[in-house]
Amino acid sequence: MKEVVLITGASGMIAKELAKKIGKEYEIRFLTRKKVHDYEYEWDLTKGIMDETALENVSHIIHLAGANISEKRWTPERKKELISSRIDSAELLRTTLRKNKIKLKSFISASGINFYGTETSEKIYSENDPPGNDFLSEVVVLWERAADDFKEQDLAERVIKIRTAVVLSEKDGALKKMVPPIQYGIGSPLGSGHQYMPWVHIEDICSIYEFALKNTEMDGAYNAVSPQHATNRELTKKIAQVLEKPLFMPNVPGFVLKLLFGELATAILEGSRASSKKLQDTGFHFKFPDLENALKDLLKKQPYKR
């Protein structure tokens, strides 16, 4: 009999790809706002309710729910939404598990590499480093604390927090936004271009979740970031190289991004490196540790070249 894995954040890029990857070995269920398929179960965070049958015989929860950090300007209301979408969703899961006297084998939560703060420095952060002191760091700290509560309240045997870098995918996210300007000859680095952009291939991030699911020795926080580091300038140049496009436009000035995005611009204009050594020491191997090979794999899947 297959173990049951309940995934939140069903509409997200990672959730969709992960379900395809592990669907043969596990019974997959999704928590979603509107049920369409038999394997979907509804929940409503504003009302604090969920279909409790989603938890019948569940062994693992992979918690990917959370409003998109870079989708909108960070107004006071948006900041509250970014936090509550992560914290309230976890609290609803905990309350429902407790009510039904269910203990999970594992609770695996998405987290962010911005745990360490948004600043550009020469430091390479590891899981032993303390959190930063800006808004994104605050979001991630609260996010991880909500995950840790599952273990502290004896609702899960282990809790794994996946501190995710920028996920590169041809279908969605940062890469999909970066390619069109480069394709049309107007691409350029952002701000100084010297800020690091920790990244991970979509296939690798899904493999990390699968590995965490199966490797019972894993517990705690792990940096889900490719071993090869790249700045915004290097990533932009490498995309242009793979697409065989020239890159001659000047950098987009930081003040322009601040005018466009407000405080959110800090997440675009700043960034440091993070180490994946702890994850690799568990025995995990990246399929795409090299940026050029990762981009070649992703960009060949779309008809970008003429």
Kindly state whether residue 185 falls inside one of the protein's structural domains: no
Kindly state whether residue 76 falls inside one of the protein's structural domains: yes
Kindly state whether residue 294 falls inside one of the protein's structural domains: no
Quick one: tokens of 212? 């965490």
pLDDT of residue 266: 81
Kindly state whether residue 237 falls inside one of the protein's structural domains: no
User: The domain containing residue 74 runs over which residues?
Assistant: 4-166+200-225
Kindly state whether residue 243 falls inside one of the protein's structural domains: no
pLDDT of residue 106: 98
pLDDT of residue 256: 81
Contact status, residue 289 vs residue 228, Cβ threshold 8 Å: yes
Backbone φ and ψ of 168, nearest 5°: -90, 120
Kindly state whether residue 304 falls inside one of the protein's structural domains: no
Quick one: tokens of 283? 């025995």
pLDDT of residue 306: 42
| Residues lower than pLDDT 70 in the chain | 301-306
Tell me the pLDDT of the chain averaged across its residues: 93
| Residue of 90, 129, 96, 132 lying closest to 108 (CA atoms) | 90
Kindly state whether residue 9 falls inside one of the protein's structural domains: yes
How many angstroms separate the CA atoms of 194 and 270, rounded? Answer: 8
Kindly state whether residue 290 falls inside one of the protein's structural domains: no
pLDDT digits (tens, 9 = 90+) for 38-63: 999 999 998 999 999 999 999 999 99
Domain count for the chain: 1
How many angstroms separate the CA atoms of 294 and 127, rounded? Answer: 25
How many angstroms separate the CA atoms of 1 and 25, rounded? Answer: 10
Full-model pTM? 0.94
How many angstroms separate the CA atoms of 157 and 5, rounded? Answer: 15
Backbone φ and ψ of 60, nearest 5°: -140, 145
Q: For the domain that residue 128 is a member of, what is the CATH number? A: 3.40.50.720
